[in-house]
Structure 1
Amino acid sequence: MSNSADNKEPPHKKRRTSPSPSPPDSSWSPLSSLPDEMILSCLARVSRLDQAALSLVSKSYRYLMASPELYKTRSELGCVENCFYVWLVTSPDLTPRWFILRRGETLNRLSPIPSLSSQPPEASSVVVMDWGIYVIGGFIKETTRTSDVWLLDCRSHTWRQVPSMGVARACAAVGVVNGKIYVFGGCLDPDSSNWAEVFDPKTQTWESLPPMPDRIKRDQYIHDSVVVRGDKIYAVDGIDRTYCYSPSEGKWGRGNDAPTNGNKRDWCVIDGLIFCIAHSGNVYWCEPDQLECEPEGMYWRKVKGLVSLKKRLSSSRLVHFDGKIEALWESYKITIGRDKKLIDLLPGTRLSNSGSNVLLLWDVIEENHLEIWCAEISLERRQGHEIWGNIISLERRQGGEVWGNIEWSNAVMTVDHFLDRSKVLYSASVTL
């Protein structure tokens, strides 16, 4: 190309002030003549649903949709959205697949995104950090644990493997504090010095945490439920007891016991309160300071206003537990005189947060097909005082009540000619 005066940039045209975010082989687009800052500012205001369609227009658009610069610009402009992802197993193909919830004007549906056939079909732990979802450990065979870790980049829906853990794990508890991922348990040897590890994404390295003291050792099996409060991580063991780790102090501690009168799962913190789901179909909440050790245990209260959902939630069997845990229960229930199956004791509904709202997933059998339903619940805390028989009860109820309002509810997937009930292995909300 010649360097003649005719090819020089006109003096009135604004020069680019930052490196172009477009790839070298990008094709022409209507925005290509604009300054980079203006391009990013325009695209940052486009909804994630429209961005997915826009990425099909050209390579340059597709590159921009996945660029770190766009993610940063959306955050700075306050244009981020809560994107809801579901990891699901349905028959007849029992390979776990990932979906994203596409929100429409009148109907919301689950749409498939790229998945990995190499991901463990059972007992992985999943955690969200920034724009990505980490899938940690799990059973690659019926009883073989793995130390593999995979990362789903939710900006581009692409996968990559990250450094493996020091030990193989399944059914571990996972939480994020100060930009690092902490993993507890799930390994064969509960006395191992690697019982807990921490991953630093900046250095891409794993380090072992100090061993847990004998006086607070817990069961080898723990829930996937974990709560982060301040700089402490609280995990729940197999009989609803909690323990915690403080990264700033490098110390383990004992949390409060969590008597539930029935198993609860999917603990999460929304606007400073802890929420979870029970097998009865009720959504419960409690104050976060009750995680600290108290002789009375944690006090759970029902979220009111959701009576219309309770029957369907309690009859759902959208549960996840591996075959080994089910076999252990079958041998254990004989010694305690119980005859119920594990599937009838665990909550069959999945609960997750989406910003300040709750998202619930459950299944419904309709003749020869199965429907997976989703509902979004907004929350309202109403202050008030209730009179009870003693001082402790009065103090614990002075926080008022939490009411739920159903914003929308519809079937997000239909499975025809299904052979067995489906499993939601995990659901998560990512801010993009």
Structure 2
Amino acid sequence: MSNSEEQPRAKKTKREAFPLSCLPDDLVLNCLARVSRPDLAALSMVSKRYHSLVASPDLYKIRSLIGRTETYVYVCLRIPTPVPSVRWYILRRRKTLDASDLIPIPSLPSQPLEASSVVVLDCSIYVIGGLIEGEQRTSDVWRLDCRTHVWHPVPCMGVARAYGAAGVVDGKIYVFGGCDVDDNYGEVFDPKTQTWNPLPPMPKRKKHIHSSMVRDQKVYALDDKERTFYYSPREGKWGTGNRGQLVGYRRDWCMVDNLLFCLSKNGVILWCEPGELDLRETERVMKVEAVRGFTYRSLYQKLFLSRLVHYGDQIIDRWEEKWIMDGRPPLKIPKRWKKFRFERLRPGARMCSSGGKIVLFWDEISLEGGYLHHIWWAEISLERLQGGEIWGYIERSNILMPVEPVKAHKKAFKITAYTEYHCPLNPPTNSLCQ
């Protein structure tokens, strides 16, 4: 082909080029609505205009109308390098069932390394309280905007808290516990007014909390004796529920299809009817059953052997104090062996719900071909059989990331919190930024 024939084609290509930035906002929003969430976060960094469009509530209204809403699991890892740090990731589910991975997003340098509570409200993740240097409670609150992955400060709580219960009811954040008994036990945050207000006094305060959940517009919590209690915002009062079994300590309570699920220390996923939380005439032990039917038969064993969860020194000291109060002799062993003994009594994997399914995280160590340490994940679908049993089926499972070789008694990664974000139909128009 001659040069004279190539020249017109080159000019035609040049004339067809039309930058997206020249389009009006409504057309750009329709284009951006078809882009995946991770790519939207990257586009928000291109210019002030794109940042504004990605954060616009109109974008998420369009995504809902065209069926482009997405559910993501956010993972927070505690990295115990010589200078420990906290890093945030998004779990990316790929089309290939065995190729999911973690995408890093901006982290918060000042985030406490442990003991923070985490909730989701509208398009944001709130990180509430925690322990600074493993000892000092903080009243700081931070908000991660899931549209732009930018962190914003939120007004501090009236009381410093660590390991507190937290939940969202009717667009407000309720927190209680995790503080000294003389402090204001509970408070509520209103994102519209950006203010914290105290809750009514609780008759019998629970000092130690290890799990919390929201059900029927009530925020439930479990204390260190596996007894449940709750606060009902609509009634403005506190209440007590049933207790769990101390044998087989459980954590990571979550709701899926109006059923309650949790993870036991034995690595077994348990479930129960939501009414088991409620106290009827007298206190009783909650009736729970195991999820059955996994095709991956060794899954429960892997969850049992996992030591992914970080338990700080304050929790270990609290456990030892209770050990002595129960009339047992003091543990005259090194600190690391106390931690090892404690971890055998607690679940070492993590679990959450996402899109009507259960998501699990655990770690595995292999000595084949050298010392190999990896973080795994699995997505479990659930089915209730005619006889009433709940069966689980592994839909996805693969290694998420390798861990650098370390000494056997050290843990390289700890999942401290995770949650899910779902683009709502009508995001709020008010800003939570300070």
| TM class by smaller structure | 0.7 to 0.9
Q: Distance in 2 between matches of 1:342 and 1:380?
A: 34
Distance 1:158 1:53, change over 3 A: closer
Matched, 1:45 2:34: yes
Amino acid at match of 2:366: E
SS of 2:320 mapped into structure 1 = helix
Where do residues 130-149 of structure 1 align in structure 2 (5 Å cutoff)?
130-149=122-141
Other-structure match for 2:377 = 374
The unaligned stretches of length 5 or more in structure 1 are 1-27, 385-399
CA deviation vs aligned residue, 1:386-408 (integer Å, no higher than 9, x gap): xxxxxxxxxxxxxx011111111
Change (3 A) 1:338 1:270: farther
- Which residue number corresponds to residue 252 of structure 1? 238
The CA deviation at 1:105 is 3.1
Q: CA deviation at 1:104?
A: 2.3
Match of 1:431 in 2: 422
What do residues 337-356 of structure 1 show as CA deviations (whole Å, max 9, x unaligned)?
A: 69771111110010011110
Q: Distance in 2 between matches of 1:29 and 1:73?
A: 23
Picking from 395, 399, 406, the partner of 1:407 is 395
TM-score by length of 2: 0.83
Residue in 2 aligned with 1:296? Answer: 284
> Which residue in 1 is equivalent to 2:54?
65
Q: Which runs of 5+ in 2 are unaligned?
A: 1-16, 332-339, 424-434
Aligned partner letter, 1:161: P
| CA distance in 2: counterparts of 1:332 and 1:360, whole angstroms | 30
Aligned residue for 1:20? none
Distance 1:260 1:228 in 2: 22
Moved more, 157-166 or 331-340: 331-340
Q: 2: distance between equivalents of 1:369 and 1:94?
A: 22
Q: What CA RMSD, in Å, does the superposition of the two structures yield over aligned residues? A: 2.1
Q: Please report how far the alpha carbon of residue 332 of structure 1 lies from its aligned counterpart in structure 2 after TM superposition.
A: 3.5
* Rounded Cα–Cα distance in structure 2 between residues aligned with 1:29 and 1:164: 47
Write the distance in 2 (CA, Å) between the matches of 1:110 and 1:338. Answer: 42
Task: Tell me the amino acid that sits aligned with residue 82 of structure 1.
Answer: T
Deviation of 1:40 after TM superposition, in Å, equals: 1.9
Q: CA deviation at 1:127?
A: 0.7
Question: Number of matched residues?
Answer: 384
Distance in 2 between the 1:102 and 1:323 partners? 33
With over 3 angstroms needed to count, the CA separation of the structure-2 counterparts of 1:321 and 1:167, relative to structure 1, is same
Q: Does the residue aligned with 2:126 lie in a helix, a strand or coil?
A: strand
Correspondence for 1:13: none
Displacement of 1:191: 4.2
Residue 127 in structure 1 maps to residue 119 in structure 2: yes
Distance in 1 (CA, whole Å) between partners of 2:261 and 2:377 is 17
CA distance in 1, matches of 2:39, 2:304: 36
Distance in 1 (CA, whole Å) between partners of 2:132 and 2:232 is 31
Residues 2-81 of structure 1 aligned to structure 2 (within 5 Å): 30-52=19-41, 54-55=43-44, 60-81=49-70
Equivalent pair of 1:317/1:362 in contact (CA under 8 Å): yes
CA contact (8 A) 1:90 1:415 kept: no
* Partners of 2:52 and 2:200 in 1: CA distance: 43
- Residue from 208, 211, 216 that aligns with 1:221: 208
The match for 1:179 is: 171
**TM-score, structure 1 normalization:** 0.84
- Alignment deviations for residues 122-157 of structure 1 (CA, whole Å, 9 cap, x no partner): 111111111111000011122210000000111111
Distance 2:188 2:422 in 1: 23
**What is the correspondence of 1:236-315 to structure 2 with a 5 Å cutoff?**
236-259=222-245, 261-294=247-280, 295-306=283-294, 307-315=297-305
